[in-house]
Amino acid sequence: MSAVKNVIKDNYNMMLLKDYLRGKIKDAGFSHAEISKTPVGTRVALHVTRPGIVIGRKGSGIRTLTDKLETDFGLKNPQISVVEIEKPELAPSVMCNRMASHLERGTAFRRATMWTLKQIMEGGAMGVQITISGKLRGDRSAFEKHTQGILPRAGHHAEIIVDEDIAHVQTAMGLIGIRIRIARKEKFIPEFEMREEKAKQPKEEKIKVEEIEVEGSKVEVVKVEGKEDTAKSESERIALEAKKMESIDTLEQEEAKMK
């Protein structure tokens, strides 16, 4: 097999693996996976919001996931490490999944969009753009684009500062696509930093690395200390957010109040 075919095959397998992980550990707030080959096997770093759900009781989740990656995806001797995401609100993949979950629950798409914009900006983003398209209101497909803050659109600086991800959700009306682009302040190029931002010192978070033993092998778990989150899983968080989201007025409700 030629080198080109090998590259295509590897990329295709990585796409299937990402889709599998997005669905399998969705409740753990899966963001992305970093896969690298080592002389002794394959190292897989899973970036999630709740590492405990991935690990499972006494490492049962890690064992099941390891066997699945080895048998179905052909990874040789996979060594899984779990990394907790410091700021989930600044991870486009996490916010795409959360917004998709709200739409699956029947939340109005504009209400879900406004809530997601609010959460991302309060999380410390420099700017955000959410594009939602598909069967939004009727039989005909449509799309809406909502932007807040400062978001570079093109060029080398946009590639460095802006992260993006895409998610799809099946609703009663049809398939809906969600694209979220987030500009992060900490990725500022020095000559473009705003003066008032230099005076602010970001709050330091303690990073704690733990090792747990699963069947004789050690699994690394990177945790962020000092974070307060009452929800034990992503599903529980979505349910809590759905109640808070009821207080947000949609564009139609705001227009009715102005009449």
**H/E run at residue 14:** helix 3-24
Assess if residue 256 is contained within a domain.
Answer: no
Q: Are residues 115 and 142 in the same domain?
A: yes
Q: Are residues 82 and 98 in the same domain?
A: no
- Rounded to an integer, what is the distance from CA 2 to the centroid of its chain? 35
Domain count of the chain? 2
In the prediction, which pLDDT does 86 show?
Answer: 85
In the prediction, which pLDDT does 132 show?
Answer: 94
Q: Are residues 213 and 169 in the same domain?
A: no
Rounded to whole angstroms, the Cα distance separating 69 from 219 reads 15
In the prediction, which pLDDT does 20 show?
Answer: 87
Q: Are residues 169 and 187 in the same domain?
A: yes
Please provide the size of the chain in residues.
259
Crossing angle of helices 3-24/60-72, nearest 10°? 150
217 with 80: CB under 8 angstroms?
A: no
Q: Are residues 76 and 38 in the same domain?
A: yes
Q: Are residues 124 and 62 in the same domain?
A: no
Q: Are residues 134 and 180 in the same domain?
A: yes
Rounded to whole angstroms, the Cα distance separating 96 from 166 reads 7
Could you tell me which residues are beta bridge partners of residue 168? Answer: 177
Question: By residue range, what is the domain housing residue 117?
Answer: 93-199
Look up the pTM and report it.
0.74
Boundary residue ending a domain (178, 199, 220): 199
In the prediction, which pLDDT does 1 show?
Answer: 56
Tokens 């989930």 identify what position?
88
Assess if residue 118 is contained within a domain.
Answer: yes
Assess if residue 253 is contained within a domain.
Answer: no
In the prediction, which pLDDT does 217 show?
Answer: 55
Amino acid at site 10: D
Q: What is the DSSP letter of 107?
A: -
Q: Are residues 185 and 105 in the same domain?
A: yes
C-alpha radius of gyration, the chain, whole number: 20
Q: What is the CATH number of the domain that holds 135?
A: 3.30.1140.32
Q: What is the DSSP letter of 250?
A: P
DSSP 151-214: ---SSHHHHHHEEEEEEEEE-SS-EEEEEEEEEEGGG--GGG--HHHHSPPPPP--EEEEEEEE
CA angle 50, 52, 56 (to 5 degrees): 135
Amino acid at site 219: V
Assess if residue 243 is contained within a domain.
Answer: no
Assess if residue 78 is contained within a domain.
Answer: yes
In the prediction, which pLDDT does 72 show?
Answer: 86
Which class for 250: exposed (0-12), middle (13-18), buried (19 or more C-beta within 10 A)?
Answer: middle
Assess if residue 251 is contained within a domain.
Answer: no
Assess if residue 257 is contained within a domain.
Answer: no
Helix (H, G, I), strand (E, B) or coil at 45: strand
Average pLDDT by consecutive 10-residue portion of the chain (259 residues)? 77 85 85 86 88 84 87 85 88 91 89 92 92 87 90 82 90 90 77 50 55 56 58 78 72 63
Assess if residue 46 is contained within a domain.
Answer: yes
